[in-house]
Amino acid sequence: MQKHNILFVVGSLHQAGAERFAYEIDAALNKDKFKVSILCLEKDNQTSDTWKNRFYEKKHLDLGTNISYIDAFLTSEKHSFFERLFHKLTNNAFKKKKAKWKTSFYNFLSTYDVIHWMGEYNFVHTLPESLNIKSLIHIMTARFQEPDIYKAFNFKYDYHFISGFKDEELKSELNQFENVKHTYFPLVLKINSEENKWNFVDGEVKKIAIFTRLDRFKPLDPFLYSFQLLLDKLPNCELHIFGSGDPVKEGVVSFLERLAIKEKVFFRGHQESIVSTINNEHIDMSWFQGYNNDRPAGYAGFDVCTTGVPLICWDFFPNPNNAFNSVYPHYKNLNQFVDQSFKILTHKDEAEKLSNAQFRDIEKSRNSRYFIQILEETYQSIATD
């Protein structure tokens, strides 16, 4: 059987959401039908101030996936001596901006049957039509997070987007485009645990966990206001924030000081495995960003639910639908959010009921083995079109 050659274009290989998704897909695809390669848009020797290493590099290599870096395809930004002399003599009148990409870049892309762009922000807008029709553009950011995420796109062009957005959400997400195709495909992961081992513990201290990077795309203010109110009801609470980022530099510590709750909040730093962290210490409840009264907005929330820790969401969608979500409760009212948190932390039956509902739903709605065929059929359609 002839395999289709699939190229994943990733921004990096660090431990972040889009990079996690690329790995989960690489691990789930039928390798008898598809051969995966990766183009990383970082330079091979590029280092990050945020991440210690390329977490997913070895994981992809262990799957037999070839990885290329962008270095070989970038044109030099430097001008030769004679070019600089010419520009100086002509007062830069004829100086042209150099093209970013070498011709070999487009030649390289053309050797693949499908180009899967892991993030709309990674898409190269100078592609010829022959490569555009091979492209599958995965939306990893919502417009409410970044209103200008599509500003570089030509709204008259045909694009094939893929995302976890549902039909009603797409009306606002892609309404700038005149003619686009969209394939629904949720964020998926491999589910290993078949049994929910989390139990309610009536301990002296109640520990709430938030798993998130500290940056402007993942604001913490509703959670911090809520935590102050919750302490009035339940003074024995602690808030543990797990994730990369400098809380002082990002202004979070100042926020806590203004609310006078700094002594009750602990910054635990980046965790290589959320599941391992939760299994090593008892977490009573998790708070997470939510989307449109529907789902936790990211892998960290899904990982939490696979451990059974009950999770409730603050809804960051501007105008969420009105239906109450009993499996993933979402709130946009501080008092309601705090009341629900208090209930989960103090009522064993309510906590374990929510824990079990989320554990079962994640297995059913996010398990990669139930959804990978959708993506394989999409690849097949693009490759043979």
CATH C-level class of 206-366: alpha beta
Mean pLDDT of 180-205: 92
Q: Which sign, positive or negative, has the C-alpha torsion 58, 63, 66, 68?
A: negative
Cα atoms in the 13 Å half-sphere on the side-chain side of 5: 10
pLDDT tens for 80-106 read 544 454 445 556 654 556 567 888 999
Mean pLDDT of 332-349: 97
Q: Which sign, positive or negative, has the C-alpha torsion 132, 133, 139, 143?
A: positive
pLDDT value for 99: 66
CATH number for 4-190+368-384: choose from 3.40.50, 1.10.490, 1.10.8, 3.40.1710: 3.40.50
DSSP state of 167: H
pTM (global) more than 0.95: no
DSSP string, 33-99: TEEEEEEESS-TT---SS-SS-HHHHHHHHTT-EEEEGGGGBPP-PPPHHHHHHHHHTTTTT--PPP
Q: What are phi and psi of 178, to 5 degrees?
A: -85, -35
User: 164 near 344, Cβ under 8 Å?
Assistant: no
pLDDT value for 317: 84
pLDDT tens for 116-133 read 999 999 999 999 999 999
User: 3 near 376, Cβ under 8 Å?
Assistant: no
pLDDT value for 82: 47
- pLDDT confidence band for 207 (50 / 70 / 90): very high
Residue ranges covered by each domain of the chain: 4-190+368-384, 206-366
